A = this chain, B = another copy of it.
């Protein structure tokens, strides 16, 4: 089928609701409204109010009750309406979802997926556009996934829903309806923890995820017109756990690296990539790893958001800097 990311996610949910009787979808407006971005459109009509549950407006309770459900035989897929609204549920995620397996020495577990639209670029009001994935990557016990296209979105969400541990699944808002592509009709999974090398290259490794993958692609296409760099592109897809072997072996080949993230600079995921690259590939590095990031400031209201977000120009500048070093 031809599908944008919203449709691909909807399809993944529908197929999994069909095949796993223990799967329940819950959240604010996920029922008759189909979610404010329509990712759960039509699911309640098809699967009923016991499977697709409109909850009161309380993120901590959505995640907290999901933990209870997950420990007792269900596979909850909780929607948090924007990633900025994960914070009220932060304690439940950190102190419980991420810990119950460890706390109970494996007796209980939390096969929970928390879906949340994230990132900027759609003129949303405040608290709807930031990219705070680092908070969850830093938290032991969680997994974190960010797809960059409809096909990956479907396969990764299916894996997340089947994962025995809690997964925070971020859906880049800017990609939701940005394009459609051919997505397989049947159910399939894309394993968590595996990055995708979407383009081979020898001069430089370009790492990104989510909407920044598209921005990076744009930069690479533009730069290819004049400069003849051979760039290896990695779409990280899973941010926790990270596919380090793919990153390291690429850098061992290229010796140069640029990381692009929408998140603030300080302690965004790029920092960890730079740290590990230094640890493992110090002698392979021909230039310091460059990063293109949001700023250490609040994601602005929409009149300025396109200044905040990394764009192809900034990525190209970083590539040139790495190449020129």
In the assembled complex, which residues on chain B have CB atoms less than 8 Å from the CB atom of A268? 138
In the assembled complex, which residues on chain B have CB atoms less than 8 Å from the CB atom of A279? 274, 288, 291
Interface check A296, CB cutoff 8 A: yes
Kindly specify which of A49-57, A88-96, A146-154, A174-182 makes contact with the partner chain.
Answer: A88-96
Interface check A201, CB cutoff 8 A: no
Interface check A270, CB cutoff 8 A: yes
Measured CB to CB, the residues of A under 8 A from B are: 60, 84, 87-88, 90-91, 94-95, 98-99, 102-103, 126-127, 132, 134-135, 137-138, 140-141, 240, 264, 266-272, 274-275, 278-279, 282, 285, 287-289, 291, 295-298
Q: A275 contacts which of B91, B95, B271 (Cβ < 8 Å)?
A: B271
Q: A91 contacts which of B90, B240, B264, B297 (Cβ < 8 Å)?
A: B90
Alpha-carbon gap, A91 to B92, bound state (A): 12
Q: A138 contacts which of B94, B103, B135, B298 (Cβ < 8 Å)?
A: B135
Alpha-carbon gap, A267 to B240, bound state (A): 11
In the assembled complex, which residues on chain B have CB atoms less than 8 Å from the CB atom of A99? 298
The answer to whether A298 touches B91 (Cβ under 8 A) is: no
Alpha-carbon gap, A94 to B99, bound state (A): 23
Alpha-carbon gap, A94 to B134, bound state (A): 14
The answer to whether A267 touches B127 (Cβ under 8 A) is: no
Closest 8 CB pairs of A and B: A87-B91, A274-B275, A282-B288, A138-B267, A271-B275, A90-B90, A271-B271, A88-B91
